[in-house]
Structure 1
Amino acid sequence: MALTLYVDTARWRAHQQTVLQQFPGIVPVCKGNGYGFGHERLADEAARFGTDILAVGTTYEAARIKDFFSGDLLVLTPFRLGEEPVPLPDRAIRSVSSVDGVRGLVGARVVVEVMSSMKRHGISEEDLPKLHAAIEDVRLEGFAIHLPLDRTDGSDAVGEVMGWMERLRNARLPLHTMFVSHLKADELAHLQQQFPQTRFRARIGTRLWLGDHDATQYRGAVLDVTPVAKGDRFGYRQQKAAGDGYLVVVAGGTSHGVGLEAPKALHGMMPRAKGVARAGLATMNRNLSPFVWAGKQRWFAEPPHMQVSILFVPGDVPAPQVGDELVAHLRHTTTQFDRLLDH
């Protein structure tokens, strides 16, 4: 009995091909938990469609993935002086976001990240003149810019990239390759047309692996079903059942990522109102689970356990049976499955 990730493999790969056609020279990203699929699976998929490079989040991820992927490995987290050394093959490429970082990687293959409107990390315009001497001692693979997802100020993504292209050109820095993140296909094509001497390579993870929501589905197996009457006590904290119904024990708990939720940026009155409502219900121990039965997400009977969750199914709904599987709406990047089944 397991929490299973089902993959409609043909559909999933067909979506990959659509993205590959839209973004020539794509750099697939495999970081974190491998977007819910695992590093080994995504490395295999990337090799399958023939990419020459795979982007990973950290040096530790690169050290693990190097045994699954034989091409270049682009480490996205910038190098920092004094960081713990991790043995990596020569095909590893380090991102750098400072002149000191470049100087600390003598002989290495590097991609220089420029500061975008994300304001997360990157070389500033003022530091560009200092790069000339620094890049002489490294193998420069290109520059990179990581753009924001939303532009609430009405600014233009293409304009931001073009601005940096002009700054780099004016600083007489080599512009043979520019790695970009969060650009649309038509925006990338426009940039390629404007700067034909530069190869633009889109770093893409979410859109590539998770862009077709219907290609994957999590399901948790039902392990036990116990009838309860209103007022019956149950669980670790011996709470009282709110009404007649069933306690349904389903595979999938905190060790799988069930019940974990990242903070969200809310825009508009309706999303904020819903957030307030959810917070209010939580103070009354009412938390909606990701598991669906009889067409509705069901409430947690109590907070999820390490490997299972206990749901409350009201008595006016047919009870699931042991061995049934409940669809679970889970976030891929925070979920760890017990098994993956292609179908």
Structure 2
Amino acid sequence: MRAKERAPDPAKEGRPTAMPLTLYVDSARWRAHQQHVLEQFPGLVPVCKGNGYGFGQERLATEAARLGTGPLAVGTVYEAARARDFVSGDLLVLTPYQLTEEPVPLPTRVIRTVASVDAVGRLVGARIVIEVMSSMRRHGVTEEDLPKLSSLLADVTLEGFAIHLPLDRADGSSAVDEVIAWMDRLRAARLPLHTMYVSHLQPDEFEQLQRQFPQTRFRARIGTRLWLGDHDATEYRGTVLDVTRVTKGDRFGYRQQKVSGDGHLVVVAGGTSQGVGLEAPKAMHGMMPRAKGVARAGLATVNRNLSPFVWEGRQRWFAEPPHMQVSILYLPAESSAPVQGDEMVAHLRHTTTQPDRVVER
């Protein structure tokens, strides 16, 4: 999708005149990408958790139903409880059942993930997926647990096993080899291997496993790759609400800081309630990324923080920390000033952003 910094006339476009933070979606391109992923991973399980990857869970549930692949994976039992009102099919809860969790009323079409022998024993009559301990070292049954499972499976409906793999492999190990090792352990323990749910495999790795184990149906649980894999299919834009000319030394904002030079203060839609200014910690590898991180931290100590908003091809500086629903940016005098109603492209992380609206084209 080509970035545009000036908004079309709302009256001509038939768009509302509200001034929001908007997620624009190139629908045809977005759906074509979904279909491509489905071809790479037949029988995939769409993942719809958290904020629905910026689209909202109900919106993604509609797309998942269109794909027609079966269960929809959600993050928690609370998400499953909400999703039952707009999802008619099966729901797979990815967070493992906890022995101490509070009861949440759920329909029988909800499948629970379990990661311990005790959890299997507790969920008599339930539909379950048993997760094995991968190199993620997060949760899962161990090889030593496998002999204890056989006697418990008669009291549950086993939908399959699952393995959650890491994204990166710094040691050069093979994701396929890790899955094969677990397949061999499960087979040696004489446990049912009709279905294996997998995460974070490449298409060729997925195909290799399906060829090597034709009696097992591999199902890839996919979220980010499915919904966000084509970066050019989506774009965030914040609407300019006000523009004020300022002179060096003028005070402004909640903390009455001084403006560093002549220019403009631009109020743009999008603040902390929508996820603007929020950033998850990043794993840095190499000297250059670390140097940039140190530089950003140094600038922050003197109240210089780069915003996600772009004007004239450059990310612009926050004038002060973002407010709840708007951000105030500083544009130096040499930059042309936007006018009310213009839109500024925003580079935002989908999984932490709550746009005011989603507009499909």
Q: Same fold by TM-score, threshold 0.5 exceeded?
A: yes
TM-score after normalising by structure 2: 0.94
- Give the match's secondary structure for 2:315: strand
What letter is aligned with 2:229? G
Out of 139, 147, 163, which is 2:181 matched to? 163
Alpha-carbon distance, 1:82 to partner: 2.2
Within-5 A mapping of 1:188-267: 188-267=206-285
Partner AA of 1:197 in structure 2: Q
Which of the numbers 123, 130, 152 marks the counterpart of 1:134?
A: 152
1:246 CA displacement: 0.1
> Is structure 2 residue 110 aligned with structure 1 residue 92?
yes
Q: Residue 344 of structure 2 corresponds to which residue in structure 1? A: 326
Deviation at 1:227, TM superposition (A): 0.4
Matched residues in 2 for 1:129 and 1:184: separation?
A: 31
The runs of 5 or more residues in structure 2 that have no matched partner are: 1-18
* Residue type at the aligned position of 2:107: P
1:115 aligns to what?
Answer: 133
- Give 1:214 deviation, angstroms: 0.5
Q: Distance in 2 between matches of 1:306 and 1:30?
A: 26
Matched, 1:7 2:25: yes
Is the partner of 2:155 in helix, strand or coil?
coil
Partner Cα distance (2:172, 2:100) in 1: 39
The residue that corresponds to 1:63 in the other structure is 81
Matched, 1:42 2:57: no
**How many correspondences in the alignment?**
343
Q: CA deviation at 1:24?
A: 0.4
Could you tell me how far 1:48 is from its partner in structure 2? 1.2
How far apart are 1:49 and its partner, in Å?
1.7
Deviations 1:104-126 (A, max 9, x none): 10000000000000000000000
Moved runs in structure 1, 4+ residues, more than 2 A?
none
For residue 52 of structure 1, report the CA deviation from its aligned partner. 1.2
Deviation at 1:65, TM superposition (A): 1.0
- SS at 2:34's partner residue? helix
d(CA) in 2 for partners of 1:45 and 1:103? 35
- Calculate percent identity across the aligned residue pairs: 78
Indicate the RMSD between aligned Cα atoms, in angstroms.
Answer: 0.5
Letter in 2 for 1:46: A
2:121 to 103, 126, 141: 103
Provide structure 1 residue ranges, at least 5 long, that are not aligned to the other structure.
none
Letter of the 2:234 counterpart? T
* Per-residue CA distance 1:27-69 (angstroms, 9 max, x = gap): 0000000011001100000111212110000011011111212
- TM-score (normalizing by structure 1): 0.99
CA distance in 2, matches of 1:117, 1:252: 39
